[in-house]
Chains A and B, each alone.
Chain A
């Protein structure tokens, strides 16, 4: 059942493409010099993408006092970077076929991803880091699991069965059964979709944030991921909290009161977001 990197990439190449406007956006998450009016026009041509983006924009996570009904309004009230990340989130969640892999719980996946996005955003705000980039990285950090479950459903079903049988972390099960893991798949997908280097690095290092050069975003996503597992948000019986990197934890530099507030904030925001993601 082992997969080679070439087989992995071949499977990923067969996945549905993202809308062209989203491909443009993913490659420019670190840049601010994008023509906003062109972006609004391009997105408006995709009604499903527009609708999901606006539902996200109007969710309590973003705290708008007025309801936005057009992409142009979202740009005005939320700003370019936030809107760009919401468009990306809306597009990525809609492009994976659900229910292809026996044992893979799509709803649980998006509950974890949505909560990780909210938690990473909350951590970033406290660390004065870019909240929008943290939100997207939190949302997409495990996207390699979706890529594997969609492109190699039978092989990934064997991984999930092996994991249940041996009660190990997902990475260990993936390596034992496939010889590769969801980090490899996430990086391959990030390359295929032209994610920015920052985003690719966060996906690559979210389990190993202590690696030299991993970057602060990887540390934020690592801690957010552990918190969301510990908050038991995915709603799966065999939930398991991974070992937390002391390097990443210390980099956050937060006290108990700040974490308790972050836990409440994450739980408050994820339900609404995951409902939108799964719609």
Chain B
């Protein structure tokens, strides 16, 4: 089994969001507005599944 086969599959919607926000640095304390927008978009695109915490 290759390394790729063993890697966990990434949700395509999450992968696309990561691509859209690829220039955003989550650890940057001066960029909280982008971080908040990203969190809201993730909430919109990737709603919590039953049994998961929102």
Contacts and interface: CB of A to CB of B under 8 A. Distances in A.
Q: Which of B21, B22, B24, B40 has the most CB of A within 10 A?
A: B40
A62 interface: no
Interface residues of A, number: 23
Contact of B20 (A232, A244, A260): A232
Nearest to B41: A230
Nearest to A239: B20
A249 B20 contact: no
Nearest to B23: A240
B37 interface: yes
Nearest to A244: B33
A57 B22 CA distance: 38
A240 B16 CA distance: 10
Contacts of A264: 44
Contacts of B31: 243-244, 246
B36 interface: yes
A241 B44 contact: no
A246 B30 CA distance: 8
Q: Which of B20, B24, B43 has the most CB of A within 10 A?
A: B20
Contacts of B43: 256, 260
Interface string A240-253: 11011110111000
Contacts of A244: 31, 33-34, 36-37
Contacts of A243: 23-24, 31, 33-34
A50 B43 CA distance: 41
Contacts of A232: 16, 20
B24 A241 contact: yes
A232 B30 CA distance: 24
A239 to B, nearest CB: 6
B48 to A, nearest CB: 13
A226 B33 CA distance: 10
Interface in A189-247: 226-227, 229-232, 239-241, 243-246
Contacts of A230: 20-21, 37-38, 41
Given A232-B16, A240-B20, A248-B33, 13 more contacts: A230-B20, A230-B37, A231-B41, A239-B20, A241-B34, A241-B37, A243-B24, A243-B33, A245-B33, A246-B33, A256-B40, A259-B40, A263-B40
Interface of B: 16, 19-24, 30-34, 36-38, 40-41, 43-44
28 contacts: A167-B22, A169-B23, A229-B20, A230-B38, A239-B19, A239-B20, A240-B20, A240-B22, A240-B23, A241-B21, A241-B24, A243-B23, A243-B24, A244-B31, A245-B33, A246-B30, A246-B31, A246-B32, A248-B33, A249-B33, A249-B36, A250-B33, A256-B43, A259-B40, A260-B44, A263-B41, A263-B44, A264-B44
